[in-house]
Amino acid sequence: MEDSARGLMQLLEDDAVRILDEKLTEEQKVQVQAMGVPVLLCSTAGVRDFHDWYREALFVILRFLINHPKPGHGYKFFTNPEWTRPITGAEEGLYAFLALNHLSGRLGEDPARCYVDEYGMKQCRNDLVGVVEVGGASTQIVFPLQDGTALPSSIRAVNLQHERFLPSRFPSADVISVSFMQLGVASSSGLFFKELCSNAEFRHQGICYNPCIFRGFRQACSAGDVEILPDGTIVVDEDVRKNKLKPVATYCSANNPEISFKAMNEIQCRVNKIDPTKSLAERLRIDDCFQIVGTGDFDTCQAQVEELLVSPRFPLPANIEAASSGFESVGQVFKFASTASPMVITGGAMYASISTMQGLGLLPKDFQDDVPGISRLLEGLFPETASAGGCADEPATLRGVSAETEKHISAGKARLQDLRDAERRCHDAWQAIVVIDGGSSATRTNVFLAKTRSCPRGGRHIDPDSIRLLGAGKRFAGLRGVLESWLDAYAGEDWESRSVDSKRLFQHVPEMEDSARGLMQLLEDDAVRILDEKLTEEQKVQVQAMGVPVLLCSTAGVRDFHDWYREALFVILRFLINHPKPGHGYKFFTNPEWTRPITGAEEGLYAFLALNHLSGRLGEDPARCYVDEYGMKQCRNDLVGVVEVGGASTQIVFPLQDGTALPSSIRAVNLQHERFLPSRFPCADVISVSFMQLGVASSSGLFFKELCSNAEFRHQGICYNPCIFRGFRQACSAGDVEILPDGTIVVDEDVRKNKLKPVATSCSANNPEISFKAMNEMQCRENKIDPTKSLAERLRIDDCFQIVGTGDFDTCQAQVEELLVSPRFPLPANIEAASSGFESVGQVFKFASTASPMVITGGAMYASISTMQGLGLLPKDFPGDLEQLIAASRTYCSSPVVNSGDGLVIQLPNAEQKLTSMNYDLCKTIALTVSLIQHMEAGEHKPSSISWQKSVVGPDGKPRADLGWHVGAILHRVLFTEEWGRTAYETGFTYNM
């Protein structure tokens, strides 16, 4: 591979040298050779879908070759892993967008687009142009959004500053950027031929009649390159490498793990008439077709292009990146988002399609928008260098004065020195930070205290090691509950079962604000109570003077909420936080970065940062550093992975071993590159993935629905659940369970408390994510939820009136594995996990694994182990041994439930445990634990240890904080000291005055 790459790079290097020698003046050559020549080598769609380690290995070799050019020509070429790498389709589109707007003079800060607002602040609007760039293998669409655009929660807009495509000095810009594979000029031709000529409507007696080719044109029925000889003969190249179907046919192979492990991807290939189980020759062949004849019917041509390429029912193959942006086809882009900005269409073939007709007089010469000429004004800014100064030495002593006078002089000098030292030394002060957890079932305030340090000319920063939890507040209504109650009132009852005109609901924004105000008042009062109770008087003075940053993050509870309601709620919440009640003295403040919905990957990464910080593994430990053979200090990470199981989702995050080769579809997160850690920390690559419907509550609902819909476990209306203790009986519903003191088991019929409610709401034909996207609809139906039915029907378990526990742990674990951990199709609303490269938990450790220790956290997961430890079924120092855990689980879960007279108890061989609503289905959680361990230990690398933790204990023996994402969310902000200083101190609460 290195030899092949060396041959190519030699040609490229020689070509670059030729251009430089021809185009540069002698003076320029001297300067260019002295400074070195940066090289950016980027691959686009051509190798974007290449799986296995080969692609990454090729780029390692290419970087080495660039950095070691031939001696003699004098040009010092150099590169690095950020400059020479495969780029995503979204990056390719954004680079084209930046180039267009820069070259047309629209990217900078134009005084004509700036004004002073009512507060005396300069504001500058963007006047950017959108771009459609059509290449050989993919099409990129990028356009700016208008201010105030409300997008569905699944659509990911890119803020050019936040994503670091533009510096903060440029006017802020939000854009849509999406890339579609198989929509390039060459790739779309191959796929179009394959699909059109496989359709009997366009094929007759082996001849395919192609409406997109001129009348009278005839060629062999193949997607190979076409050559037209001088005598008019039309020759189709039979070289497989030049067949336009070759890239997608190679991808659509049963030997590609992306196809063999992921049923959705296989379906996309088959829909496009490519059978992954066939040989490459068969996948390239158009069956029952020997000739293509052009008919020149443009209307039919355009209709087929629309149906097969632009708006297909299923996504075109290898388009996981587009789906992760929220779009499955070009046809969906402008359904979900649009722009009033000018649009420029570029790419050789697209430009030729217009210029050809202009040249033939079929279109006027001015058939295009007026794009300003290219402006290339280069300005060199050379700041003056400040001169250094010095101070003359003072006399060491004074002569001719009395001893008493000299004593007072010395005292005065000492005092003056103390004052000087006070000006120069760092000052510490306490600051409170409030993290509000907008979880799936409740909203809760968590108040932290941290020590800040302010140094002259160094700004103020937080000491991360000083962060500790002051107190956790009461549980109030969840954000989902606030939105659903508002919709009940103003969209009408049963809005989940019918179409709602969301635009009409804008008139009820004031009522949404009233609902949010009630909740925020409770949260604010609770935070003030904790601060008043826990702070000393000195700390109160400092905390009130500095202001209290507030981070309010919603997790899985509203992650799948569609339409504009969720974003509107957060705009209101930020306003309310920034305008607290007067009187208590605490100046709460926030901003759009701190108070917002967070993705599952972010939630997992915050939990990962929290765990590794609290356990002392995040910093630069001298014991983990060494000087390499080149004299450079290198520091290795010693990080711990985490599995965090919440109420509605599960997050899995673990560090990768050095040299790990991942398939190209798996997206590893570099903590520095993605700005979760500053560059001063040792470099770390991690896998971070989040699965909706795998939280403790949400998985229970989905598990009941699927298990009890299976005739194998249902007989005469009774569902026999192996994950519930023997003797337990309840109504056949996923509602909340209450066990009364006399042993009566009551199931709450309140729809809001049904564990199936979130996924049943999402799986509605009135949700554009379902109605426009066939894959999402299929996932709902696979999980026994018909989107066309009413909400009540989607919640109901058909032909079932009672659930009875059988306590069969082996069957329980097998069903948890089949239905939740390794389902054939992804669980509903899991587009984020799929965009990371995983469709199920079972796939995570097939594609990636770790030798690092793993910590499993979350209340129910911790309880599943601590309960059996408390009953003596597992040792107190349980090391995570799988066989030991399975044996203990069989004993625990097979225990019967009996009525002791004082209520229901679990009757173990040597103990009793009171049955509660918290432990009646604990065996499902234990089964999930077992499945997780089985998959971790089946990976290429096995964790060095597996443990269960609820919190991390400090040197004083007291818990520093509970594990979870809260501390990680704080660290993500405060570790970037300059940005934190600007937002928390320079801007701070005074921004809202």
Active site residues: 603
Q: Which two three-digit tokens encode residue 791?
A: 């909400």
SS3 sequence of 352-374: HHHHHHHHCCCCCCCCCCCCCCC
Task: Fill in the DSSP letter of residue 791.
Answer: H
320 in Cβ contact with 239 (< 8 Å): no
Cα 623 from Cα 107, distance rounded (Å): 48
Cα 611 from Cα 853, distance rounded (Å): 12
Cα 982 from Cα 962, distance rounded (Å): 29
Please give the C-alpha separations between residue 778 and each of 473, 558, 784, 790, 903, in angstroms, as whole numbers.
41, 22, 10, 17, 44
* Helical packing angle, 922-938 and 859-870, nearest 10°: 100
Please give the C-alpha separations between residue 292 and each of 210, 230, 836, 926, in angstroms, as whole numbers.
7, 21, 40, 60
Cα 463 from Cα 954, distance rounded (Å): 16
Q: Which two three-digit tokens encode residue 674?
A: 């993605």
Classified as helix, coil or strand, 734 is coil
136 in Cβ contact with 187 (< 8 Å): yes
Q: Which helix (H) or strand (E) holds 905?
A: strand 904-907
Q: Which of 470, 483, 662, 450 is nearest to 559 (CA)?
A: 483
Q: Which two three-digit tokens encode residue 280?
A: 């490459």
Classified as helix, coil or strand, 346 is strand
Classified as helix, coil or strand, 583 is coil
Place of tokens 């476990």: 713
Main-chain phi, psi angles of 701, to 5 degrees: -60, -50
725 in Cβ contact with 896 (< 8 Å): yes
- The H-assigned helical ranges of 894-950 are 922-938
Cα 443 from Cα 455, distance rounded (Å): 37
Question: Residue 527: is it exposed, middle or buried by C-beta count within 10 angstroms (0-12/13-18/19+)?
Answer: buried
Cα 73 from Cα 13, distance rounded (Å): 10
Q: Which two three-digit tokens encode residue 440?
A: 């799936």
Place of tokens 């499955």: 328
SS3 sequence of 422-436: HHHCCEEEEEEEEEE
Where is the binding site, in residues?
A: 647-651
DSSP character string of 792-839: HHHH--TT--EEEE---HHHHHHHHIIIIIS-SSPPTT-HHHHHTT-S
Please give the C-alpha separations between residue 618 and each of 310, 443, 610, 680, in angstroms, as whole numbers.
47, 29, 9, 11
Cα 816 from Cα 820, distance rounded (Å): 5
Cα 148 from Cα 132, distance rounded (Å): 23
Q: Which helix (H) or strand (E) holds 294?
A: strand 291-294
Rg of the chain taking only CA atoms, in angstroms: 32
Q: How far is CA 260 from the centre of its chain?
A: 24
DSSP character string of 130-165: EEEEE-SSEEEEEEEPPTT----TT---EETTTTTS
Cα 313 from Cα 895, distance rounded (Å): 50
Where is the binding site for ATP, in residues?
A: 647-651
Task: Fill in the DSSP letter of residue 956.
Answer: T
Q: Which two three-digit tokens encode residue 152?
A: 């569905």
